[in-house]
Structure 1
Amino acid sequence: MPDVIGLNSNLSDNPSDAGYANTSRSTMVVDLGAIESNYRKFRMLAPQSACGAVLKADAYGLGALRIAPFLARLGCGHFFVADVEEGAALRKVLPLSAKIYLLHGAMPGLEAAIEHHDLLPILNSREQLDAWLRHCRLRNRLLPAGVHVDTGLSRLGFPIDELQKAAENERVLSDLPVVLFMSQLACAEWRDEISRQQLDQFRKLTYLFPKAILSLSNSAGLFAGCEFHFDLIRSGGGILGLSISGDPDFRPSQVVRLRTRIIQCRRVKVGEAIGYHRSYPVKRQMRVATASIGYADGFPRSLGNRGHVFVYGARAPIVGFVSMDLISIDVTDLPESWTVPGTMVDLICPEQTVADVALAANMLSDELTTAIGRRCRRLYVSAKRDEMRRH
C-alpha cells in the first residue's frame, strides 16, 4: 500500500525528508486535508442533499482504496464505481453500511458476483433489468438495484418511452426494490436550456419510483441551481480538486501534487541539440537537467518543447521531446546549487495546477490524472498529525 504521512501543505524540496528518501521515481502527492475541505464545501452548498463520491477509475487515478475509507469516516455513505471489479475492491475497505453503486449496471453473467459483494447495480437497459429479475427469481428473493434513465446524453440509461412501458404497462418494476433513480446531465457546466430540459424530463419520471433516492447532479450540476440537487449529489472531480465549475465563488482546494527528481545535470554548447530527433537546437550555452518522469508514467508527450516545470518555485522550460522515462529541463538561469542530483522537480504544484497542465496538453483534468500510472508512487499527506499512518 502507498505511504500515508503527516505533513503540512508546504512540502519540503529536500529529497532526504520523510516520504521521498526511498524512491527515485515520480510521486503523486494526494492531500487528504484538501479532499476533506472539498467534501465539506459540497455538503454546505447542498445542505438538503447527501453527497456521494464517484470513485471510478481508481478515484480518477488518485487511489480509491485509500480515499474511500477516508471519506466514509467523514460521513459519506454513497459510493459510485464503474463495474464489479472496482466495487468488490471497494467493499473490502468500506463499512457494511456503505452503499456501492455500479454505474455500468449488471453485466451479463455477473449478477451472482454483484450479490456476493453486496453491490447495487444501476440498471440501464431492458436487457439488464430482465437478467436481474431472472437472478432474483433464481435466488427466490428480491434484490435491490438502481435505475438509470437517459434524458439527453444518449449514452447509458433506459430510453424514456422504454422505461415508462416497463413501469406502467408491463409493471415489471413493481416488485423490484429500486433504491436509486438517476440520470446524467450532458452539459451541466453550461447551465443552458439543455440542462433545463433534462431536469424537466427527470422530474416528470420520479413518480415511477416514490421510494427511491433521486439523483441528477454530478459535481458541475451542483452549481446549476438547487432544483437540480434532489436527494443525492454524485461528486467525483469536485471532491478530488479537479476543475468542475466556472463559478467564480467556488474554487476547490487543490488535492494533487506531482513531483520527481533530477538524475543529472550537464552543460551543452551552441550548435548541439537536445532529445530524440534533435528536436531542440541549442542556441546558447545551457545547463540541462534530466529528470525521472516520462510518458510511461502518464506525463503528456505533447508537452515536449512547450511545457514547463518548477524547481524551488522557479519556472524551468521542458526542452526536447518527452521520452518514455525522462524529460530534459532548461535550468540555465537557476543557481547550480538548486539542480544537483536528487533535487525535487514539481510538475503539478501550487504554481501549476492539474487544470493548468491539462490545458497545456489539450486534455481534461481527469484525463490527465487517470493517465498517471502505477509506476508513479502515491503519497497521502494530511496536516493532522493524529492521522499519521504508514502502510
Structure 2
Amino acid sequence: MIVDLSAIEANYRKCQALAPRSACGAVVKADAYGLGATRIAPFLASLGCTHFFVADVEEGVALRDVLPSSAKIYMLHGALPGMELAAEQHNLLPILNSREQLEAWLRHCRVRNRALPAGIHVDTGLSRLGFPIDELHTIAENRNGLSELPVVLFMSQLACAEWRNEICLQQLNRFRRLAHLFPNAILSLSNSAGLFAGREFHFDLIRTGGGIFGFSTSDDPDFKPMQVVHLQTQIIQCREVEHGEAIGYLRSYTVKKRMRVATAAIGYADGFPRTLGNRGHVFIYGRRAPIVGFVSMDLVTIDVTDLPESLTPPGTVVDLICPEQTVADMASAAKMLSDELTTAMGRRCRRLYVSSERDDVRYR
C-alpha cells in the first residue's frame, strides 16, 4: 500500500478551505482507516492540526507517543471502565456518552482530587452513542456533577449529512438548542460529509477522516479530493490453463478457451475483498485484466491472456488501486464502503509513505 502524504496535505487544505471559520480536526481511529495513524497524525500535526479523534484508550496512547504534548486527543468511546487512570496519565480526553460514563469519570476526578477535562456527546438522531437529549437536559439543569467537570468539547454526530434532508436539519436545530448548556466548550457537529451541508453545520470544529484520506464525500464539483491510496502487488507465477480445466477453490471458474493465468500475492488476509472473485479486475501496465476464480487467503488469479507474455513475468507489478481504479471504484464493486476497504487492508499490507513535494519516502 502506497500512501501519498502530498495528497493528504492537499485534501486537508481543501477541507480547511470549505470551513474557513472552523478548526479542522482529524479522525484517525482504526489506525487512520488502515493508512497508519502513527505516521499520518504527526504529519497532520506538522500542517497545524491540533485536534485528533480516536476510538479508545489504546489508540490514544499510541498517538500520544508521537504527537506534540499540546495536541488534543479525544476518545470517542469515552473512558471504558478501569481505563480512567490511563486516560489521565496520557493526557487523553474522553468523550462521555452516558450517565454511567459521566459518573465514573467524576468518581475518578474525586479520587485524584482533580477536575479533569472531558467532552460530552449528545445523541440528536443517530441512536448510537451519546446522551439522550432529555437526560442531558436533566443532568445540566440539576448540575448533577457537571459543575465539577471542565467540558472542553460538546459534540453530536450527523446521521445523513450527505442528503441535507429534514432529519439533518432537525439534528442541527437540536444541537443548537443544547449548545448553551456548555458555554465554554468547543462545538462540533460535522464530519466530512457535514462540510457540504452548509456553514451553519460547521460550528467551531470539523471532524474529518474520509475527506482527508481522499474518499469521495460529496458530488460538489468544487471538491475533488486527491487520491491518497495506491495498492500494488506482484505476480508470483504464470501458467497455461487448458480449455475445460477449472481455476481456484471449488473449481469456481471453468476455462472456456486456452488461457494464460497469473497468480499474484494478495488475498483476503490482506483485506482484498473475496466478493471480487470472478468479477473484479486489476491493471497491469495500465491494461485491465479480470480476476478469475475465488480470491483465496493470500493469492488471486488473473486472466492475462490478452497481455503480451513479455509483460507478465514473475515479479511484474499488479495495480489494484490506482488512477484507473480508485478506492471508491473497488469499494463499490465489492459492495463495501471506502473506509471499510482500507481499514481491512491496513492490517497486513506493508505501507510505503511518499511525498512528492517533500521528497520523502519511508516504509512503515
Q: Provide the TM-score with structure 2 as the length reference.
A: 0.98
Distance in 2 between residues matched to 1:148 and 1:112, nearest whole Å: 21
Alignment of 1:358 onto 2:339: no
Higher relative contact order (CA 8 A, sep 6+): 1
Unmatched 5+ residue regions in structure 2?
none
Match of 2:181 among 184, 208, 213: 208
Select which of 75, 78, 89 maps to 2:51: 78
Distance 1:375 1:153 in 2: 32
Report the RMSD for the aligned CA atoms in angstroms.
Answer: 1.1
Report matched runs for 1:154-233 at 5 Å.
154-233=127-206
State whether residues 33 and 346 of structure 2, in contact with CA within 8 Å, keep that contact through their aligned partners in structure 1: no
Q: Provide the C-alpha distance between the structure 1 equivalents of 2:310 and 2:150, rounded to a whole number of angstroms.
A: 66
Conserved in 1, the CA contact under 8 Å of 2:73 and 2:92? yes
* SS in structure 1 at match of 2:250: helix
Query: Aligned pair in 2 of structure 1 residues 388, 314: CA closer, same or farther (>3 Å)?
Result: closer
**2:36 is aligned with 1:38:** no
Please name the residue that 1:90 is paired with. 63
The aligned residue for residue 377 of structure 1 is 350
Give the Cα separation in 2 of the matches to 1:217 and 1:243: 16
* Matched residue, 1:368: 341
1:105 Cα deviation (Å)? 0.6
Following superposition, which runs of at least 4 residues in structure 1 exceed 4 angstroms of deviation?
388-391
- AA aligned to 1:122 is I
Shift of 1:267: 1.1
Aligned residues: 364
Query: Mean Cα displacement is larger for which, 208-217 or 371-380?
Result: 371-380
| Structure 2 counterpart SS, 1:208 | coil
Whole-angstrom distance in 1 between the partners of 2:5 and 2:109: 40
* Equivalent-residue separation in structure 2 for 1:139 and 1:172 (angstroms): 15
Whether 2:118 is the aligned partner of 1:145: answer yes
Give, in whole Å, the separation in 2 of the partners of 1:96 and 1:170: 31
Note if contact 1:296-1:373 (Cα within 8 Å) is conserved in structure 2: no
Pick closer, same or farther for the CA change 1:167–1:353 going to 2, 3 Å.
same
Which amino acid in structure 2 is aligned with residue 81 of structure 1?
Answer: V
* Correspondence for 1:62 among 10, 35, 38: 35
Unaligned 5+ runs, structure 1:
1-27
* More deviation, 111-120/271-280: 271-280
Check conservation: 2:271, 2:347, Cα contact below 8 A: no
Matched, 1:29 2:29: no
| Alpha-carbon distance between aligned partners in 2 of 1:387 and 1:335, rounded to the nearest angstrom | 35
| 127-136 or 368-377: bigger deviation | 368-377
Counting aligned pairs with the same residue, the percent is 79
Match for 1:294 among 267, 271, 280?
A: 267
Instruction: Identify which of 76, 98, 106 aligns with 1:125.
Output: 98
